[in-house]
Amino acid sequence: MTTLVSEPKPCNSKRCSKDCRYKVYYYTPKRKEKHFKYLKDAKSWAQDKLRTMTLGLESSEQVDKMTLNDFSENVLLSRGNETTLARANANYDNHIRDTIGHYRIKDITRPILQDFFDDEMLGYAPATQRKIKHLLNVCFKYASADGYISRNPAELIHIEGEQREYVPTQLKPTELAEFIEVWDNDPILKEYSNFVVGLAYTGARPQELGALTWDDIDLQARTLDINKAIKTTHTGKQFVSNILKTESASRVLGIDEVLLARLRFRKTTNPSDTYVFSSSRGHMINLNNFRKRYWDRALMLSSVNISVPYDLRHTYSALMWSRDVPLDKLSRRMGHKNISTTQNWCGRWYRQADFTGLDVPSEWKTEQA
C-alpha cells in the first residue's frame, strides 16, 4: 500500500538546481513531489504534510489549533468495530467532550488530566473511571505516535481504586505563607499575587475567581458573589459564561481579613478595572498564560509540594476540614454538587494529612456559604 507521504529521498535529477538535494513524494491521489536543500527541512515538511493529509487539514496552523474533540472525532473514534465505536462515543460524550474536550491537544498535560479525574470524575465507580482513563490513554497514544505530541500525558494518571503512594496536594499554613511571599516579592509574579491569595483564602475554582467583577464584591459586607466562570473555546479563546459547573457552584462567600485588605487596596489603586483579579493592563486573567508563565515560575522559586493552581482549592478545604468545619457548610462553601462529593474529597485526600495544632483564620470557620 502506497503511503500518503514518502520519507525524504536523495534527489539526483539533472533538472533540479544544485540547491535541491532531497525530495518528498506525496499523493493527492496523483503523485507529486517537493524539493529541499536540507534533510531536516524535508523531514519536517513530510511529517507536517502527513498529519494534515491524514486529517484532511490544509495547514500546520490547523493542526496546532486541534482540540481533543477534533482529534477524537477524526482519528480515534473512527477506529474499531461498530459496537466498540458506539461504546467509545457514549463514554466520550458523557465525560470528556464538554469538560476537557475543548482543550488544544498540545496543551493537555498530566496535571490537567489528573485534575480532571480528581474533580470531574470524582464519585464515579472505579470501573467507569478506568474506562475513561483507557479511552484517553488510547487517544493520546495515537496522538503521540502520529507526532501531534511528544509524550502521552495519560500514562501516569492515578484513579480511584489504583494503588499509589500518597502525594499531598495541599499546603500547610507555613508553606502557604512561604508560597504567597514568593508571589509578593518577585517583580514578575506580584502582578497576580492577589489571585493566588484569593484561591487559597476562598476555595473558589480558578475559573470562578478569574471571572469576578467588582459588582460581585461587597467590601462593606465582606462578601463575594460567585455567579459566572471563565470558559475556553476550542480555539483557546476565553469568555465569561453565566453557566457554572453545577447549580451549587452559584454561591456567596465571606471574605477573610487577609484577602479583604488586598481587595480594598486594589480597588483604591485601580478603580477603573472591571475584573477583580485583572492583569496589569486591566484585562481578564488568561488562565492558560497564568499557568505557563507565572505559576510554573512560582513553583521553581519556591519549595512547596504542589503542582497546579487547583491545589490551593485543596489547601483551603483541607484546612477547614482539619478544624472540624461542618461537612455540610464546607460542601456549600466549595460549591460541590452534593455532600457526598465533599466526603469523597476529605476521605480520599486529607485523611493522611497531618494538620495537628494548626491555626486557621476565623473567617474560614464562620463562612456564610
Secondary structure of 218-244 in HEC code, one letter for each residue: ECCCCEEEECCEEEECCCCCEEEECCC
Q: What share of the chain has pLDDT > 70, as a percent?
A: 78
Query: Angle 257-269/193-202 helices, nearest 10 degrees?
Result: 150
3-state secondary structure of 120: helix
CA distance 127 to 130: 5
First to last CA, the chain: 64
The alpha-carbon radius of gyration of the chain (Å, integer) is 25
CA distance 236 to 139: 20
Mean pLDDT of the chain: 79
3-state secondary structure of 79: coil
- CB under 8 A, 24+ apart: contacts of 41-50: 42/8, 43/8, 46/5, 46/6, 46/7, 46/8, 47/147, 49/4, 49/5, 49/24, 50/3, 50/4, 50/5, 50/147
pLDDT: which is higher, 18 or 360? 18
Q: How confident is the model at residue 197 (pLDDT cuts 50, 70, 90)?
A: very high
CA distance 289 to 286: 5
CA distance 240 to 215: 14
DSSP state of 170: S
Least confident of 13-17, 216-220, 248-252, 293-297: 13-17
Give the largest Cα separation in the chain, rounded.
84
CA distance 66 to 46: 19
Neighbours of 311 (CB within 10 A): 22
Whether the pTM exceeds 0.85: the reply is no
DSSP state of 213: B
pLDDT: which is higher, 304 or 168? 304
CA-based angle 263:269:274, to the nearest 5?
Answer: 70
Least confident of 53-57, 255-259, 349-353: 349-353
pLDDT: which is higher, 166 or 145? 145
Mean pLDDT, residues 305-322: 83
> Strands of 217-218's sheet, edge to edge?
217-218, 223-226, 251-254
Burial 119-139 (b: 16+ CB within 10 A, else e): bbbbbbeeebbebbbebbbbb
CA distance 277 to 287: 11
3-state secondary structure of 104: strand
Residue 135 grid coordinates: 479511552
The predicted structure's pLDDT at residue 361: 44
Cross-strand pairs, 35: 23
Beta strands in the chain (DSSP E): 9-10, 22-27, 31-36, 217-218, 223-226, 229-232, 238-241, 251-254
Which amino acid would we find at residue 304? V
User: Exposed, middle or buried by CB within 10 Å (0-12, 13-18, 19+), for 215?
Assistant: exposed
Contact 231, 245 (CB under 8 A): no
CA distance 163 to 159: 9
Mean pLDDT, residues 24-31: 69
Query: Residue 327 — φ and ψ, nearest 5°?
Result: -60, -40
The predicted structure's pLDDT at residue 27: 64
